[in-house]
Structure formats: structure tokens, C-alpha cells
Amino acid sequence: MPSQPAVELAIIIPTFEERENIPLILMRLTQALAGLRYEVIFVDDDSPDGTADVVRAIAGIDPKVRVIQRINRRGLTAACLEGLLSTAAPYLAVMDADLQHDEAILPDMLALLQTANLDVVVGQRAYNGSSFAPASGLRRCFHRAVCRCRIDDPLSGYFVMRREFFMETVHRMSGIGSKILVDLLASSAYTPMLREISYHLRERAHGEDKLGALAALEYFQLLVDKLVGNAIPPSFILFALVGGGGLGIYFGLLTFALFRLRTSFDVAQIAAAAAAMTFNFFLNNTITFRGARLRGKRLARGLAGFYAACSIGMWINLKMAHAAGALGAAWYTAGVLGLAAGSLWNYGVTQMFVWREGRKRLNREVPPPNWLGTDTVEDSDCRSLLALSQRVGTAARVQPAKALKNTER
Ligand code: GDD
Ligand code: MN
């Protein structure tokens, strides 16, 4: 066994539509990291421009380069997590593909991490650049409270960390949105040892930035999850906010129909409820459950299911309010209890039946790998793998070939 790790530093680069930037960033990394044993792992969300194919073509001739291509998935943080978990390197860097992050400071970041025995070193965007304004005192205090450590630029997407720190933290991370550093720091069980190195954020080389208005919403969701996520699922909070908007529409339309159009109460109520439910459905489809967003035929079926579930929810609401009223609750307490019961029903049922993830097609039993129970793996190979797996301290999944031959599968 070599005493030094085969790869010292892994650089994880999330990509979506970055085809032109791939060769550029690799060339720059080659210059900046001369003399280091490193690998570059691109995690691409099936970019329509063929970014993953470009990386694969380069990976075919350069063993330092790898690609993880994710299908039907989006999300910068989630993509990075998969890249970070796919490497054995003791030091892990995250950076963007668009050349905005200055790769020249990467060796300094790594050296500081090693010599000062830190958990994380952050590339901090310099304040005098044109494209970036410093956070105000209040915002900085808020971020420090969320991250529970001293940091000036927690929204930076450029940092290096020790793998032990990452592995200790990753199971508590939310994996929501694009602010991976906030997620990481806020999820740590202890105050991370952290320093920042400042650099000038460059202009994007090619293509466009992908993180738009949705990124702000996802950041809000991440903050909520970090602050109260252990008690309430963040999608419920979004569902309730959307429901609040629907309630506003419902009362608005109800009064409009009753007092302007002078319809009967029944007509006004049915029209207002239908409009509010439709509004809620489409907003939940694009925001709350965007990970399982329905399109085409499934959209129509989902809308019908949503109407049905919410109609039952309305009935539960009324029943609950009546029951509370009969027990002597004031009208507003009865109203709130009814609303809470109806909303919980709507949330539970629609997330389970309307926005369920597509059923897995491969649910039959997968045959065991063909080397199980055969002689193709040499005993000596197995013994050294076994010794290695035992040293790692986890339950050994690799058994000697002899034992495997006797195992009925
Ligand atoms: N795999 C994957 N999936 N990659 C993505 C996705 C996605 O859904 N969205 C964006 N990316 C990739 C981009 O291709 C790019 O390499 C990187 O993530 C950053 O995306 P940009 O679209 O360039 O974002 P930005 O410039 O607005 O923000 C970035 O820089 C900020 C400042 O450093 C992000 O890193 C922010 O987190 C960061 O705060
Ligand atoms: Mn960018």
C-alpha cells in the first residue's frame, strides 16, 4: 500500500450548460496546481448542450478528470454532495465552472488548511470588485448566527475543506438549493475552524448564470430548514404559505362575486374555491414540489386529484370546526383548528398521491455481481481488500473468495 494518498485534492465542479468553459477551467487548473496530485470531478445535471460528453471525451485521455452525470435532477448543492462523496481524496474543493472563481489561490487555500490545521478555507469575494457588494452589518450578524462561526462571505461557492469535516457533517446537511457553504457550516456539530482568503470575482467566461429568482426562494427554504427543520418539513412551510395566498384569493373572489356580480352565495363560493384551488395547485407544482413537478398528461391528472383531495380537506375543515364549536370553543379557535386539520390533510395526501415521485421501473431483484461464487477473483486480491476494509473500520463487505463460494445467493 502506498503511504501517501493517490490523490491529495479533489476539485468538485457542478455544471449545467458549461460546455465551452470545461477545457478553459481544466487548462487553468493544470497551470495553478502543477506539482499537486489532484483530480477534477464534474457533476453535470444532464446539460442539453452536452457538457458531460465534453468532460467524458477529456476524461478518456486524462485520468485526473471524471464526470458524474445525473439524470432528471437539478440543484447545485445536491450535485456537489454527490461529487464530494465519490472521491477518496483527503482534501476537497468546490468551485464553479464559469471561471468566476480564481483558481490561482487554490494552492494557498490548501496550504493554509493544512498548516493551520483548519476545517475549511473559504475563497472570499473581494469587496472592491464591481460585481459584488459586501453584506451589511446586520446581514453579516444573521449569517454568522446561522453558520455559528465567524465568516464574512458565507454565500461563496468556492472553498476547500478537510474530508473528515465533510464526512462528519454530510448526514445533517439539507442539500437544498445552491448555498452549499451555508448548509455545510450550519449543519456542523461543532464550530468549524475556518479562515478566508480574498480574491477578485471574475466575469463569467461563457454562457449565462443559472441561479435566478428560484435560488433566493431555495435559500429561504434552506434557512428555514436549518432553523426549524428538525420540527417541521420545509415543504410544509411552503405549502402553508401557498395556501395562505390561496385563502386571500378565495376571500377576494367571494366578496367580488357576492357584492359586485351579485351572484348567489353557492355560486360565489364554488367559483372562488375552484379558482383558489387552481392557483394553489400550479404554485405548489412550480415551487413546493418542483422536484416532482408534473407536466403534460400527469399535470391534468394531478389537478383532478388535487381538487378531490382539497374538497375532502374542506369537508374535514368544516367538521373539525363544528366539533370544536360544539365543545365550546370560540368561533376563531374553531376556525383555526378546522383550517389546521384541513391543511394537514391536504399536505399529507397531495404530497403522497399527487406529487409522488415516478415509480421506479427497476423493482425486480437485481442479480448478484457475477464474480460472487466464481473463481474470477483471486484469494490474494480478496485478502488484501479484506484487510483494507477492516482497517477502514466499517463492516467488511468484501469476503474472501472461499467464503463466498459457500454462500448461497
Ligand atoms: N450540476 C448542477 N446543477 N450545476 C449547476 C446547477 C444545477 O442545477 N445550477 C448551476 N450549476 C453550476 C453552474 O454550471 C456553475 O458551474 C456553478 O454551478 C455556479 O452557477 P452560476 O449559474 O454561475 O451561479 P452564480 O454565478 O449566480 O453563483 C455562484 O457563485 C456565487 C458566488 O461565488 C454560486 O456558486 C453561488 O453559490 C455563489 O454564491
Ligand atoms: Mn457564475
> Is the shortest distance between the CB of 51 and ligand 1 below 6 Å?
no
| Strand partners for 120 | 161, 194
The cell for 288 is: 413546493
pLDDT tens, 280-328? 999 999 999 988 899 999 999 999 999 999 999 999 999 999 999 999 9
Q: Output the pLDDT for position 359.
A: 40
Cα radius of gyration (the chain): 27
- Cα 206 to ligand 1 centre (Å): 13
> Is the shortest distance between the CB of 218 and ligand 1 below 6 Å?
no
> Is the shortest distance between the CB of 45 and ligand 1 below 6 Å?
yes
Q: Output the pLDDT for position 276.
A: 94
Above 60 in pLDDT, residue 189? yes
The cell for 161 is: 475543506
- Cα 202 to ligand 2 centre (Å): 9
Q: Output the pLDDT for position 88.
A: 96
Ligand 1 pocket: which of 77, 103, 211, 214 to mutate (most atoms within 8 A of CB): 211
Three-class SS of residue 354? helix
Which of the two residues, 54 and 214, has the higher pLDDT score? 54
Above 80 in pLDDT, residue 403? no
Q: Which of 47-56, 129-138, 163-172 is predicted least confidently?
A: 129-138
Ligand closest to 215 (CA) is 1
> Is the shortest distance between the CB of 157 and ligand 1 below 6 Å?
yes
Above 70 in pLDDT, residue 89? yes
**pLDDT band for position 358 (cuts 50, 70, 90):** very low
Closest C-alpha to 284, from 244, 228, 322: 244
Q: Output the pLDDT for position 186.
A: 95
- Cα 182 to ligand 2 centre (Å): 17
- Cα 52 to ligand 2 centre (Å): 18
Above 80 in pLDDT, residue 389? no
> Is the shortest distance between the CB of 98 and ligand 1 below 6 Å?
yes
The cell for 220 is: 429561504
Grid coordinates 443559472 are at which residue?
Answer: 210
Considering the chain, what percentage of its residues have pLDDT values greater than 90?
66
**Which atom from ligand 1 is nearest to the alpha carbon of 157?**
35
| Strand partners for 12 | 41, 94
pLDDT tens, 250-282? 999 999 999 999 999 889 988 999 999 999 999
pTM over 0.75: no
What residue owns the CA closest to ligand 1's atom 12? 15
What lies within 8 Å, CB to CB, of 263 at 6+ separation is 257, 271
Q: Which of 76-80, 279-283, 340-344 is predicted least confidently?
A: 340-344
Q: Output the pLDDT for position 404.
A: 42
How are the residues of the chain apportioned to helix, strand and coil, as percentages rounded to the nearest 5?
55, 10, 35
What residue owns the CA closest to ligand 1's atom 35? 157
What lies within 8 Å, CB to CB, of 172 at 6+ separation is 187, 188, 189
**Which atom from ligand 1 is nearest to the alpha carbon of 96?**
16
Q: Which of 74-83, 136-145, 251-260 is predicted least confidently?
A: 136-145
- Cα 115 to ligand 1 centre (Å): 29
Q: Output the pLDDT for position 406.
A: 39
What residue owns the CA closest to ligand 1's atom 30? 157
Above 50 in pLDDT, residue 364? no
Average pLDDT over residues 398-402: 42
Above 60 in pLDDT, residue 394? no
Q: Output the pLDDT for position 385.
A: 66
Helix (H) or strand (E) holding 83, with range, is helix 76-85
Q: Output the pLDDT for position 360.
A: 40
pLDDT tens, 221-248? 899 888 887 778 878 889 999 999 999 9
Fold of domain 9-230+374-395: Spore Coat Polysaccharide Biosynthesis Protein SpsA; Chain A (3.90.550)
Rounded to an integer, what distance in angstroms lies between the CA atom of residue 150 and that of residue 335?
Answer: 45
